[in-house]
Amino acid sequence: MFRCTAAVGLSLVCILFAAVPAGAQVIHVPSYPFNGDSAVDQFGVSVSGAGDVNNDGIADLIVGARGDDNNGADSGSARVISGADGAILYTFNGDSAGDFFGFSVSGAGDVNNDGVADLIVGAPGDDNTGLDSGSVRVFSGVNGSILYTFNGDSANDLFGRSVSGAGDVNNDGFADLIAGAFGDDNNGGNSGSARVFSGATGSILYTFNGDSTVDLFGNSVSGAGDVNNDGFADLIVGAPGDDNNGLDSGSARVFSGVNGSILYTFNGVGPDDQFGDSVSGAGDVNFDGFADFIVGAPFNNNINGADSGSARVLSGIDGSILYTFIGDSAGDNFGRSVSGAGDVNNDSFADLIVGADADDNNGVSSGSARVFSGVDGSILYTFNGDGANDRFGHFVSGAGDVNNDSFADLIVGADADDNNGTDSGSARVFISGLCASPAPCPGDADGDGDVDLGDLNLVLFNFGAACP
């Protein structure tokens, strides 16, 4: 069975719901360019697949804009976007000036077990329990109502700096949540912490703390999947300021969902690597039945120059290194963001995406994002920012299957893009699929089954766009 789907910047992408035919090429076509509303919104500072929020069988998306001013300067916002047609499903706003609501966003899974995916958003500048104590809010996918509000413990905790769906940590049938507070002082100033919450009740399941002063533990958090294959979802937390292998070498720690015990601690290679600045569950990269994970070290100095950056893919079964990916050149900050990408080429292996927001391919700090194969670590695709200082790749995420064609899609944020004013920001969705020739429905650029003015408008809107 063939289906024709929108191909922004190309005439058509033809996607086959079957085995990949000989000679067919998997491509990743830019679609749905979403922009911040106004200058300094920093829309795209955080992006995530949202799951199926409106229960239409299509994966949706969430994008944060920490600098949005809807309820005061830098109150922030988060927008939930339909995967089916790019329509705005919800806009959530921060409560007051300086909240930086939307600094972090994530799909939350089905928190209240009503069959619809929910959302989680962090506001590290919220002042509910003291200046910059921070907060996290969980929203219903059904109607956008607030399911939970969690607050940081005390001033300067910056709780909500990172948030993620955690999976079903306690195996009760409800999706749970994790949030980081890298400014928490439980084991010294800015040692940091991460807290896991029950989706069923909102109660605290675990609190994990950084080891020592300025570890910045909780700067990044993620559900890790079932790392040890015991039927419980596990967690991963980054601490880019940890000093185990030198000042700010960084670390990442994996915790058991069953009892909160430490399953693994991984350390950066050397000083200033800031390993753990970004962490993510990676899915089952090597197809051995155990969930794997990926960790970024954006200031790693490797053979390609100072601060070229790196990302490490680690096995859930034994903690061994599956792949190490490195930035192309000095100052790229490759590994600024990392994520599992899902199966983008439909070969049954989970793939990866890594952002390098200081890459200079289309101008200084235009940024880039690279997709890697889970099978062999090869580069599947490289996406580049449009222009200088876009910071494309500042945040990357798997998007789920946005067009329901069995290929996983991707979303990349460029929080300093200037489309609607300086640093208004943008987010771009990339549709994965097969390009087969000849196309079964030539001219239907918007994929609605007809060749009409809508197709002409789409071509004119994207005229001159670079094609992969």
- pLDDT tens, 352-386? 999 999 999 999 999 999 999 999 999 999 999 99
Q: Mean pLDDT lowest for which of 24-28, 264-268, 305-309?
A: 24-28
Identify the pLDDT of residue 88: 97
Identify the pLDDT of residue 459: 58
Give the pLDDT band (50/70/90) at residue 191.
very high
Residue from 206, 204, 279, 197 nearest 239 by CA:
279
Contact 436, 19 (CB under 8 A): no
Residue from 316, 287, 305, 296 nearest 370 by CA:
296
Identify the pLDDT of residue 258: 96
Residue from 153, 276, 278, 131 nearest 215 by CA:
276
Identify the pLDDT of residue 22: 44
Amino acid at 72: G
Rounded Cα distance between 138 and 200, Å, is 12
Torsion of CA 260, 265, 266, 272, to 10 degrees: 100
Phi and psi at 62, nearest 5°, equal -135, 140
Amino acid at 273: D
Give the 3-state secondary structure of residue 48. Answer: strand
CATH superfamily of 31-435: Integrin alpha, N-terminal (2.130.10.130)
**Nearest-5° Cα angle at 59, 53 to 62:** 65
CA count, 13 A, side-chain hemisphere, 436:
19
How many CB atoms lie under 10 A from the CB of residue 389? 19
Place of tokens 């200082």: 389
The domain limits of the chain are: 1-24+437-468, 31-435
Give the pLDDT band (50/70/90) at residue 231.
very high
Rounded Cα distance between 459 and 395, Å, is 28
pLDDT higher than 60, residue 311? yes
Give the pLDDT band (50/70/90) at residue 99.
very high
Give the pLDDT band (50/70/90) at residue 28.
confident
Phi-psi region of 203 (alpha: psi -120 to 50; beta: other; left: phi over 0): beta
pLDDT higher than 70, residue 455? no
Give the pLDDT band (50/70/90) at residue 220.
very high
Give the 3-state secondary structure of residue 80. Answer: strand
